[in-house]
Amino acid sequence: MRKFLEPYTFKNGAAVRNRIMLAPMTNFASADTGETTPEEREYYRERSRGAGTVITACANVTAGGKGFPGEIGVDRDELIESLGELADTIKGEGAKAVLQIFHGGRMAPPKLLPDEQPVSASAVAAEREGAVVPRELSEDEILEIIQAFGHATRRAIRAGYDGVEIHGANTYLIQQFFSPHSNRRQDAWGGTLEKRMRFPMAVVHEVLKAAEEADDKFLVGYRISPEEIEEPGITMEDSLQLIKELAAADLDYLHTSVMDFFAGSMRDKTDERSRVQMIQDTVGEEIPVVGVGSLHTPDDVEKAMESGTPFIALGRELIVEPHWVEKVEAGREADIRTELSVDDREELVVPESLWTAIVNRPGWFPVKEHAGK
């Protein structure tokens, strides 16, 4: 049997049927209110039949942290019912349901925010076209956002989720506090590496405190991007310090966010060591590590796990082939779909909003023009 098909039991007793996770991917399919929709739930249902764990698209913990149109909301109690409908859909197919919680920070589009003003650790714009200069958060606002992560966790518990994943990656607010590019503060929340770690760790401790209201098997994970290309930016040395702090906390897993599992540094092209492997080698004995990134075939996944990484998250692969896991289990690896056509949306149960993004972004997915071509 393939190693990734083996079950796993976390230290808190939570058991999953295999080592494959559905990676958290924005699908733009929630209602403008933040409520999950039937179309969105069917998308997750189709991909919950094989994976051991399903991590949802990110859900904003405050109205001012909304990062995408059609994003799941977890910022208000009235969203608990629709959040629960999604949790029930995922769990109904045998997978663990994990809600990813986040704040977009300076990456939030102004038009999605109540006051049209993104916020961040400092008033420094991202290095991208059209980036808006965010407003620097006050001390009181920082504390309110930390508390909002705790409130979001309590809502996830009430909605029936098996866990939450703290989104500390992909340039959003938690990473912005950790980054010397976006955090130029000279107070208790910035100025040194230790102070830049304060906000991420405060969120972790707030979420863990809220998770005490769930049963002992409630999972709390953390997702991290190991490096940034900007100068100044997050270095691997910075991240390894944060990773050690995260491993020492009572988290259940640490999820890396890279485009290629085997790729080396984005900052130093002469350093070809896998960032995921470096994290596994540093803290893998203390906390389960989730690897990800351009792992398409079962052989790719097996190779990635050879050096000890216990979990693999698949993203695009489970959009292109929702039954990836089931086909491996049935000995039908040759039948795994590796590309999609513009005619495949309904068969693959992909929301129209996500499908539009896929077909209009060349190179993101292996798309052929029509079936059979």
Q: Catalytic residue positions?
A: 172
Give me the residues paired with residue 54 across strands: 22, 97
28: amino acid identity, one letter: F
Strands of 11-131 (E only): list them.
Answer: 15-16, 20-22, 53-60, 72-73, 96-102, 119-120
Which residue from 341, 328, 336 is spatially nearest to 368, judged by alpha carbons?
341
User: Reduced to 3 states, what is the DSSP secondary structure of residue 32?
Assistant: coil
Q: Cα 120 from chain centroid?
A: 20
Which residue from 116, 115, 145, 148 is spatially nearest to 132, judged by alpha carbons?
116
CB 51 within 8 A of CB 22: yes
Q: Supply the DSSP symbol for 78.
A: G
d(CA 350, CA 28): 11
Going by their DSSP bridges, the two strands 135-136 and 163-168 should be labelled as: unpaired
Six token digits for residue 214: 């769930």
Which residue from 249, 248, 200 is spatially nearest to 225, judged by alpha carbons?
200
